[in-house]
Structure 1
Amino acid sequence: MKIKLGIIGFGGMGKWHAENAPRAGVEIAAVCDIEEEKQQDAIKKGYKLYATADELLADKEVNTVILTVPNYLHKEMCIKAAKAGKNVITEKPAAMNVQELDEMEAACKEAGVFFTAHQNRRWDRDMLMVKKAYDENMLGNIFTIESKLHSGNGYMHEWHIYKKYGGGMIYDWGVHLIDQILFMMPGVKIKSIYADIQNVLHEEVDDYFKIIMKMENGITVHIELSTYILEYQPRWLVAGDKGTMIVKNFACDGNIYRTGKMLEKLPPQITETEAGPTRQFAPVAPGGIVTEPLPEIQTDWVDFYRNVDDVLNGRAESKIKISEVRRVLAVMEAAWKSAETGEAILFE
């Protein structure tokens, strides 16, 4: 079958789907939005337009929908779409919590339709570089991974600043950052979760969080996001006993660093440094650290739709399973509980 997509919500991401899904052979069958300005934009772009989701769901030509509406509407729209016989793709987060997701999944199973979430950042080049290093043991035994995302733009926008609509950064980027780590280490259990969640500039919703996950394989994962850190830290720092990887940004600037020769013992004398007298943290001698380029990765967000097409035509399994989406939501719930209690949460 050919995917004939109905886009419910024609804001920023709705427009992205309309412009990019056709690269994977998807036909944009219809769009809808309740705001007149967005309706006019859809008309100018030549899309079949509906004013409401109910009207779009009644269109027999549409066989699949993407929900690009505020987070709190995902459950309602998903169940309506399933009952209308449409395959359902939700933007992230798929639901506000695990219970909502379970209800959505049940509705889709009862209707016999496909259900998944658009976790497009599984196709991010920077993350896939780190995953390649992990999969291929490029850094030896990894002991820590830091995933950081900082912005100096400060305030969030539109409905994202309101709790009742599902705003806040954990619901926004947090879903992606957690999902990337779990995707990177499939099957690895999380022993504990500790989180610090703060409201720096926003009254209702979080705009800073740090989540620390102790993994069963011995890796400590640090996930940090802020909308108001003005000097950005590297997007990724990954350290193992055979090297360190730094990915500075989404442009994938950075290197792998290794020791040119491993010191068998520290120098016999104490060295005077800016830090004072020390041996352990004296400057490394020339040639002591060498650099390598980051691994090459080719990727495309639209591969998400290529996979959905394969699933609907019986050629492949979904690369984003609802069980994986559920686990991310469970991590988010544990993070909120940890932040509230100030204690680490035993997880799996």
Structure 2
Amino acid sequence: MQLVKVGLCAFGMSGKVFHAPFLKEHPGFFMSGVVERSKEDSKEKYPDAVIYRSVEEMLANADIELVVVNTPVQTHFEYVKMALNAGKNVIVEKPFTVTLAEAEELVKLADEKGLFISVYQNRRFDRDYLQVQKIIQENRLGNLKEVEIRFDRFRTEASGKQHKENPEQMGSGSLHDLGSHLIDQATQFFGYPEKLFADIFSMKGNEFANDYFEVLLYYPNNLRVRLKSSVFSKEAHYAYILHGDKGSFLQERSDDQENELVAGFIPVYGKEWTKPLKETDGILNYINESSETERILTSSEAGNYMNYYQQVYEYIVFGYALPSPGYEIIQNMKIIEAAEKSSKEGKVIHLD
């Protein structure tokens, strides 16, 4: 099996949970280097990875073919550009960049150098997202009319993460953080909208970056898609609500991969590794082909973040489709910037 050598730009929560375990367990990848500016936390589990004290130092290692930029969003542009100029392919955490202009510049640079950028949109591999995708593809709900996608939390106190909560830092706040997931899912399900209206602000007060948003996307055929997030949601909502002219589907946010990885679960290559569902996590109420109403409690199938890295590997080795390429995620950045403008000006924004 061809081996792809990878460098990891940080070993915080993202590196420890979402990247390093999969790079270790996937037989096609080798974590050659990791950046830890002062610590050596990676040594215990990844003794073969060389520890570097800066991204610049790691990029000087010519053996690294692929770089994972998993640093705060405010550094993405700098580090992705640095990696591309060093001749490395790049996986970059979401949100892609702080601004649309930065994303467009990086995609152009990658194209000029014959390299790729893939944005780590891991929520495409959540069990709940995959279940909704399946229901839409089966067309059991008929013509969809109204869809709501939510990502709520109950975090009423400051987290201490300045790059996410400081209103003075561009790219901070829930719209870039969680909104990048919801916008990506909407565009994957329904494509690029015609226009949007947004309400974005901080429920915790002006000293914090936005922690609440509602973005209404307008699609052809009278479809409305509402994206919402709040940090004052003690009781969980259904994460996905779909209404069509033949029925409705409600889906819980039931994927637990992140919590399991934090708890120390080891992902397994080539098979399911997460805990099975103990209860149903969805409701399908629709009119079947016999014109009879059916109400079914549904159970989603397991998701697997390993499939993201498998797709990246298959792209490198076999030329298959690259997951969430940078040029595709540019449309999500356009929606984020349009939503900011809509909220600021209090009006509907038409999209290109």
TM-based fold match above 0.5:
yes
2:194 equivalent to 1:191: yes
Residue 214 of structure 1: how far off its partner (Å): 0.9
Is the counterpart of residue 313 in structure 1 residue 317 in structure 2?
yes
Q: Distance in 1 between matches of 2:103 and 2:170?
A: 16
- Distance, in Å, in 2 between the alignment partners of 1:324 and 1:300 is 22
Q: Aligned equivalents of 1:84 and 1:324: distance in 2?
A: 23
Separation in 2 of the partners of 1:127 and 1:143?
19
Correspondence 1:114 to 2:119: no
Give TM-score, length-normalised by structure 1.
0.86
Q: SS at the partner of 2:134? A: helix
Give 1:22 deviation, angstroms. 2.8
In the other structure, the counterpart of 2:50 is 48
| Residues in 2 aligned to 1:250 and 1:296: alpha-carbon distance in whole angstroms | 8
Work out whether residues 33 and 53 of structure 1, in 8 Å CA contact, stay in contact via their aligned partners in 2. no
3-state SS of paired residue (2:136): helix
Alpha-carbon distance in 2 for matches of 1:147, 1:157 = 27
How many angstroms apart in 2 are the aligned matches of 1:23 and 1:43? 16
Correspondence 1:214 to 2:218:
yes
Please, which moves more after superposition, 147-156 or 293-302?
Answer: 293-302
Q: Does 1:78 align with 2:80?
A: yes
Alpha carbons 1:70, 1:165 under 8 Å: kept: no
**Residues paired across the two proteins, number:** 319
Whether the aligned pair in 2 keeps the contact of 1:129 and 1:294 (CA below 8 Å) is no
Q: Report the counterpart of residue 267 of structure 2 in structure 1.
A: none
SS of 2:68's partner is strand
Distance 2:215 2:224 in 1: 10
Bigger drift between 239-248 and 63-72 goes to 239-248
Of the three residues 282, 292, 315, the one matched with 1:254 is 282
Structure 1's unaligned 5+ residue stretches are 264-287
Counterparts of 1:189 and 1:106, CA distance in 2 = 21
* Distance in 2 between residues matched to 1:114 and 1:290, nearest whole Å: 46
Q: Which residue of 1 aligns with 2:23?
A: 21
Give the CA deviation at 1:298: 4.1
Partner in structure 1 of residue 8 of structure 2? 7
CA distance 1:153–1:189, change in 2 (3 Å): closer
Of 247-256 and 311-320, the range deviating more from structure 2: 247-256
Counterpart of 1:243 in structure 2 is: 247
Residue among 152, 167, 174 paired with 1:169: 174
The amino acid across from 1:14 in the alignment is: G
* Equivalent residues of 1:4, 1:28 under 8 A apart: yes
**What's the secondary structure of 1:209's corresponding residue?**
strand
Does structure 1 conserve the Cα–Cα contact (< 8 Å) formed by 2:22 and 2:309?
A: no
| 1:144-165 Cα deviation digits (max 9, x unpaired) | 1111122112234413112426
Alignment deviations for residues 245-273 of structure 1 (CA, whole Å, 9 cap, x no partner): 1112325612102369x99xxxxxxxxxx
Change (3 A) 1:332 1:87: same
Report whether the alignment pairs 1:180 with 2:182.
no
Q: Residues 317 and 259 of structure 1: is their aligned pair in 2 closer, same or farther, counting only changes over 3 Å?
A: closer
Please give the secondary structure, in 2, of the residue aligned with 1:308: helix
Q: 1:146 touches 1:222 (CA, 8 Å); kept in 2?
A: yes
Q: Structure 2 matches for 1:293-332, cutoff 5 A?
A: 293-294=297-298, 296-332=300-336
The structure-2 alpha-carbon separation of the partners of 1:40 and 1:22, relative to structure 1 and needing over 3 Å to count, comes to closer
**Residue 40 of structure 2: SS of its match in structure 1?**
helix
- TM-score w.r.t. the length of structure 2 is 0.85
User: Structure 1's 233 and 328: CA in aligned 2 closer, same or farther, altered over 3 A?
Assistant: same
Partner of 2:277 in structure 1?
A: none
State the one-letter code of the partner of 2:286: R
Q: CA deviation at 1:238?
A: 0.7
Partners of 1:327 and 1:24 in 2: how far apart?
30
Gap regions ≥5 residues in structure 2: 256-279
Amino acid at match of 2:214: K
Q: Deviations over 1:178-203 (max 9, x none)?
A: 00111112xx4412100000111152
CA-atom RMSD, angstroms?
2.2
Identity %: 27
Deviation per residue, 1:13-50 (Å, 9 max, x gap): 1112111223333211110032x2xx221233323200
Larger Rg: 1
State the distance in 2 between where 1:80 and 1:307 align: 24
